[in-house]
Amino acid sequence: MSSSIPTILALDFDGVICDGILEYFQTTKRTYCKIWDLDNIESLDQFAELFYPLRPVIETGWEMPVLLRALVLGISSQEISQNWPRVAAKIVTTEKLDPKFLSYELDATRDQWIESNLDEWLALHRFYPGVVENLDKILHSPTQLYIISTKEGRFIQQLFQEKGVKIPNNTLFGKETKQPKYEIIRTILKKHSETSSHLWFVEDLLKTLQKVKQQPDLAETGLFLADWGYNTQQTRESIAGDPSINLLTLAQFTQPFSNWR
């Protein structure tokens, strides 16, 4: 069983600290125009308000252009939210798409945008209410803070710097680390000579938490699913009977650790 107050707190970035939904759509829109050879990028703006609430169905980046394609094809939000794996598979098969190619195009589009106008790209990220203030409290507490993300560390640092948050580089594990999050957690525990019961991990992707839970040596890690992040109501309800994963609200997150459970 995990400790009542963590010695180490590990946080995901996108969907826990920062909301990048505006950037997701804009990058997806640009990628879509490349894949489906569309000249009028503004014509896709009409799908933004449908795309935003459906973002939680996405598990891997390459699915984002496929999600936009589904909306362009007129597939209903209800069908997408209830049967996304089947919907995505059908589009990929019917249109002879290669997920690896989609992933490459998405990353290349984002990289080109960052290179050409970094400030514009950064401006599309918003920190969740109260999170910056809470991070500052944690950074000045006995609990050691770590960031574990699939976003590149240099961009996370730039976003933090804009808010005046000082995160030491050796406590930030970004995309460049190229390791599963459970392996990074092992590295952190080894560095501090701690057992998993003293580390709490907050993530908005349930599968990532479940992978940590499946590691015998990490079984006592305090696992928290951020309900304000990119997950669905169905996903949140699915952990109701699982005592090893706690559902955490944003209100709880900005309160003392004693209120997290």
The answer on pLDDT for 223 being more than 70 is yes
From 73, 88, 122, the end of a domain falls on: 122
In a domain, 1, yes or no: no
User: What's the confidence (pLDDT) of residue 195?
Assistant: 93
From 74, 99, 122, the end of a domain falls on: 122
217-225: long-range contacts, CB 8 A cutoff, minimum separation 24: 217/186, 218/182, 218/185, 218/186, 219/244, 220/1, 220/2, 220/195, 220/196, 221/2, 221/185, 221/196, 221/197, 222/2, 222/3, 222/6, 222/197, 222/246, 224/200, 224/248, 224/260
The answer on pLDDT for 3 being more than 90 is no
In a domain, 246, yes or no: yes
Q: What is the mean pLDDT of the chain?
A: 94
Band (2; pLDDT cuts 50, 70, 90): low
User: What's the confidence (pLDDT) of residue 208?
Assistant: 95
12 plus 139 within the same structural domain? yes
234 plus 131 within the same structural domain? yes
In a domain, 154, yes or no: yes
The answer on pLDDT for 1 being more than 70 is no
Q: Average of pLDDT values for 166-189?
A: 94
131 plus 110 within the same structural domain? no
116 plus 148 within the same structural domain? no
Q: Average of pLDDT values for 176-183?
A: 94
Say if residues 186 and 197 touch (Cβ distance below 8 Å): no
Cα separation, 157 vs 173, in Å, equals: 11
User: What's the confidence (pLDDT) of residue 35?
Assistant: 96
68 plus 137 within the same structural domain? no
From 122, 155, 170, the end of a domain falls on: 122
33 plus 117 within the same structural domain? yes
In a domain, 227, yes or no: yes
- Split into its structural domains, the chain has a count of 2
User: What's the confidence (pLDDT) of residue 59?
Assistant: 83
132 plus 25 within the same structural domain? no
In a domain, 99, yes or no: yes
List pLDDT tens digits, range 143-170.
999 999 988 898 999 999 988 999 999 9
Residue type, 195: T
User: What's the confidence (pLDDT) of residue 218?
Assistant: 96
93 plus 182 within the same structural domain? no
Query: Range of 211's domain?
Result: 8-19+127-259
- Indicate yes or no: pTM above 0.75: yes
In a domain, 203, yes or no: yes
89 plus 155 within the same structural domain? no
188 plus 251 within the same structural domain? yes
Q: Average of pLDDT values for 7-32?
A: 96
User: What's the confidence (pLDDT) of residue 61?
Assistant: 87
The answer on pLDDT for 244 being more than 90 is yes
134 plus 243 within the same structural domain? yes
Contacts of 68 (CB under 8 A, 6+ apart): 25, 28, 29, 32, 44, 47, 51
The answer on pLDDT for 129 being more than 80 is yes
User: What's the confidence (pLDDT) of residue 149?
Assistant: 94
User: What's the confidence (pLDDT) of residue 213?
Assistant: 95
List pLDDT tens digits, range 204-221.
999 999 999 999 999 999
247 plus 223 within the same structural domain? yes
The answer on pLDDT for 4 being more than 90 is no
In a domain, 3, yes or no: no
The one-character DSSP state at 14 is B
The answer on pLDDT for 73 being more than 90 is yes
Q: Average of pLDDT values for 177-183?
A: 94
In a domain, 2, yes or no: no
CATH number at residue 144: 3.40.50.1000
- Give the DSSP H or E segment for 246: strand 245-248
